[in-house]
Structure 1
Amino acid sequence: MKKLYLIITFILLAAGCTFQKPDYLNMINATELNQIMQREDIFLVDVHIPEQPHIKGTDLFIPYNEIEKYKDRLPKDKNTAIYLYCKGGPMGNAAARSLHELGYRNLFNLEGGAEAWKKAGFAFQ
């Protein structure tokens, strides 16, 4: 019986470790983001606190935990693509959740955040 509990516990832990990103969020790596920025004008938001050096081309700084306070500065069209980043990724995920709750449906988060951007050798402001 003890063995069965251990097996069930292991299965539950393994299932938790395979957590996938929410279906409303698209992850994008630094190279992909840079290529998109070369081709089109995008809405890029730094959500890291405390404020950090911004990726060149950043449109707005909004603390990840204060999205609702700044909703008047966000695109009116809820289908506009919004690209988010923080230092490493998690604050971008939290900001995306808040944006999704406000009705935004085209959300991207920079995988690895500004650290990945820097490692790839791309510019900051």
Structure 2
Amino acid sequence: MKKLYPVIAFIFLVTGCSFQKPDYLNVITAPELNRIMQQEDIFLVDVHTPEQRHIKGTDLFIPYNEIERYKDKLPKDKNSAIYLYCEGGPMGNAAARSLHDLGYRNLSNLEGGAKAWKKAGFEFE
């Protein structure tokens, strides 16, 4: 039985890591997002609840657990890039899952969320 503990621990480690960064989601840093925002017009969505102060340039606020309710406000093209953020990251991951279930394929979440954005010294509205 003791020989199984390392195997079980490894399985939990591997499945836990894949939950944090699913294959359909690109995780980007605050400097990367800022650079992208300087170079192109992006669709940026704050998904944190309760609503917080938004990153400058945010296009839409949608609570992470109400994506389906706001689908008419999302890009019609399912391949459009959608950039998500919340306060720290997990709600962005949950929103990305819901968007993926709706057929969206080009999803990015801000690693560390608005906290990382603030720490990097970038602007809010």
Per the normalisation by structure 1, the TM-score is 0.93
**Where does structure 1 differ by over 6 angstroms across 4 or more consecutive aligned residues?**
none
Specify the code of the residue in structure 1 equivalent to 2:13. Answer: A
Q: CA deviation at 1:4?
A: 1.8
Structure 1: runs of 5+ lacking an equivalent: none
Tell me what 1:4 maps to.
Answer: 3
Tell me what 1:64 maps to.
Answer: 64
Instruction: State how far apart, in whole Å, the 1-side matches of 2:101 and 2:107 are.
Output: 12
Q: Tell me the secondary structure at the aligned position of residue 3 of structure 2.
A: helix
Of 105-114 and 5-14, deviating more is 5-14
Query: Identity over the aligned pairs, expressed in percent?
Result: 73
Matches within 5 A, 1:14-93: 14-19=13-18, 21-93=21-93
The structure with the larger Rg is 1
In the comparison of the two structures, how many residue pairs are matched?
124
Q: CA deviation at 1:17?
A: 4.5
Q: Tell me the secondary structure at the aligned position of residue 11 of structure 1.
A: helix
Q: CA deviation at 1:105?
A: 0.5
Residues 62-116 of structure 1 show CA distances to partners (whole Å, capped at 9, x for unaligned) of: 0000000000000011111000000000000000000011111100000000000
Per the normalisation by structure 2, the TM-score is 0.93
Tell me what 2:113 maps to.
Answer: 113
Instruction: State how far apart, in whole Å, the 1-side matches of 2:101 and 2:12 are.
Output: 29
